[in-house]
A and B are shown apart, each in its own frame.
Chain A
Amino acid sequence: MDNFKEIKDSNTSQSINYDFVRKLVQSQNRIYAFILTLVPNWAEAEDILQDTVEILWSKYSKSKELDNFTALGIGIARNLVYSYYREKKKQEFLLEQEALDNIASYSESISQESEDRVRILRKCLRKLSEKDMELIRLRYEEGMKIKNVAEISNRSVAALYKALGRVHDAILKCVKSGLVRENYCHD
Chain B
Amino acid sequence: MELDQYLVDATLEVFASMIFIDIAAEPSTPEPPPDIEQNLSSLIGFAGDLKGLLGIHCPTTVALGITSAMLGMEVSELGEDVKDAIGEIANMVAGGLKVALAPHDKKIELAIPTTVIGKAIRTSGLSRATRVVVPFSSPIGRFYVELRFVLS
To the question of whether A and B form a pair in one complex, the answer is no
On A, residues with C-beta under 8 Å from B are none
